[in-house]
């Protein structure tokens, strides 16, 4: 699988395993985050991975970083985004900017937490793009019929990798049912 030029937002923590996999399957990959130590540690795990310090709540800085990636490494093919509700406009900004910069098709892989805000999802469903393929991966929990627990970091990364490989528009890692049995 060739993911082309890839950008990863929110991939330095629990998604570090998935970020490494993306870098290994990309022509070039950049992971963004605020914490320098985390970025440095992650950069050591793959020769194909570059990192940049970014607070994605700063729209101007976000736009500059996406532009910089494009100018340096060419059209963007894959974006993985685990973006918290602190930056509600970040996804639409990324989609609009990449669509504006390039004619190439690309994919946006959005990772969402278990209790993701329904209003926010609705707003994001209004993001329209003819160039972008949207892949949504929702994180659930593990339930064996008796006991439930949250996903481990390894399970989260493995689920995100599977979601990218399967190319399904929507998938769930673990389960969201029965919702009342969540940990
Ligand atoms: N269903 C589930 O099982 C489930 C679902 C969600 C979460 N969780 C658990 O909840 C825990 C906490 O989740 P978390 O999201 O805090 O985990 P995390 O993955 O450790 O951290 C969030 C990621 O987003 C980045 N980030 C956050 N705010 C940012 C900003 N303003 N600008 C740029 N990057 C930003 C962080 O980088 P920087 O720190 O460098 O900024 C990091 O890469 C995890 O340990 C996970 O196990 C479980």
Task: Determine contact, residues 140/174, Cβ cutoff 8 Å.
Answer: yes
Ligand 1, residue 82: give the atom nearest the CA: 24
Predicted local distance difference test score (pLDDT) of residue 129: 85
Predicted local distance difference test score (pLDDT) of residue 128: 79
Predicted local distance difference test score (pLDDT) of residue 35: 98
Ligand 1, residue 83: give the atom nearest the CA: 24
* 81-129 per-position pLDDT tens digit: 999 989 989 999 999 999 999 999 999 999 998 876 656 666 666 777 8
Domains of the chain and any CATH numbers: 5-181 (3.40.50.720)
CA-based angle 11:154:92, to the nearest 5? Answer: 30
Residues with CB under 6 A from ligand 1: 10-15, 33-35, 38, 54-57, 82, 84, 86, 113-114, 139-141, 150-151, 153
Regions of the chain short of the pLDDT cut 70: 116-125
Tokens representing 137?
């991966």
Instruction: Supply the residue whose CA is at minimum distance from atom 5 of ligand 1.
Output: 113
CA 102 – ligand 1 centroid, Å: 29
CA 103 – ligand 1 centroid, Å: 32
Predicted local distance difference test score (pLDDT) of residue 120: 64
Predicted local distance difference test score (pLDDT) of residue 117: 60
With the most atoms of ligand 1 within 8 angstroms of its CB, the residue from 11, 33, 94 to mutate is 33
Residues in the chain: 183
Predicted local distance difference test score (pLDDT) of residue 47: 86
Ligand 1, residue 35: give the atom nearest the CA: 40
What Å distances lie between residue 96 and 4, 22, 53, 57, 107, CA to CA?
Answer: 19, 23, 22, 16, 13
């Amino acid at each position: 699988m060739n993911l082309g030029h890839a950008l990863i937002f929110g991939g330095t923590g629990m998604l570090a395993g998935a970020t490494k996999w993306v870098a290994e399957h990309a022509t070039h990959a950049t992971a963004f985050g605020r914490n320098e130590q985390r970025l440095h540690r992650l950069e050591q795990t793959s020769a194909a991975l570059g990192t940049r310090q970014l607070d994605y709540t700063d729209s101007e800085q976000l736009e500059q970083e996406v532009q910089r990636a494009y100018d340096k490494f060419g059209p963007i093919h894959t974006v993985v985004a685990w973006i918290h509700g602190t930056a509600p406009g970040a996804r639409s900004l990324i989609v609009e900017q990449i669509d504006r910069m390039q004619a190439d098709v690309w994919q946006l892989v959005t990772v969402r937490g278990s209790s993701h805000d329904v209003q926010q999802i609705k707003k994001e469903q209004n993001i329209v793009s003819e160039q972008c393929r949207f892949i949504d991966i929702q994180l659930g929990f593990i339930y064996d019929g008796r006991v439930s627990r949250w996903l481990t970091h390894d399970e989260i990364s493995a689920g995100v990798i599977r979601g990218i490989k399967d190319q399904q528009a929507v998938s769930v890692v673990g389960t969201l049912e029965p919702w009342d049995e969540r940990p």
